[in-house]
Amino acid sequence: MTSYTPAEAAALSGFSLDTLRYYEREGILPPVARSAGGHRQYSEADLGTLGFLKCLRETGMPIERLRRYGELCRDATTVPDRIALLEEHAAAVQRDLDELLAQQSRLDEKLAWYRDQLAQPEPASLVAPPLAD
């Protein structure tokens, strides 16, 4: 079984050493195995968990929900609760994505308006374009 030092786990996961310690201390990450000398030894499974936690964090999941997810993962009977938590977060991500796509559409419209103005032989004043096209 391959094991990784905290520095290796940090490098492979993209988290800082402080974040790894914090996640373990706060129960977001399950307790990590230790060597006979007491040093943390991260497993492939730990790295997989860290990869998913990074995904959740990058999608904006708040620490409190990460903590709840970590707690739930320590009990095999909580799969329905984990599904509900992830579905709730997926819905929040979808709302954020829809909002960003709408904002991108507005930006595209404004860019098209500016480009159209530049293409005109006598462009309208570009100082104050209409805000509500």
* Alpha-carbon radius of gyration of the chain: 23
Whole-number pLDDT of residue 123: 62
For the whole model, what pTM was predicted?
A: 0.77
d(CA 69, CA 86): 9
Mean pLDDT of the chain: 92
Note down pLDDT in tens along the chain; length 133 residues. Answer: 799 999 999 999 999 999 999 999 999 998 899 999 999 999 999 999 999 999 999 999 999 999 999 999 999 999 999 999 999 999 999 999 999 999 999 999 999 999 998 888 876 666 655 566 5
Contact 34, 43 (CB under 8 A): no
CB 129 within 8 A of CB 114: yes
pLDDT computed for residue 73 by the predictor: 92
Predicted confidence at residue 133, as pLDDT, reads: 56
Instruction: Look at residue 106 in the predicted model and tell me its pLDDT.
Output: 97
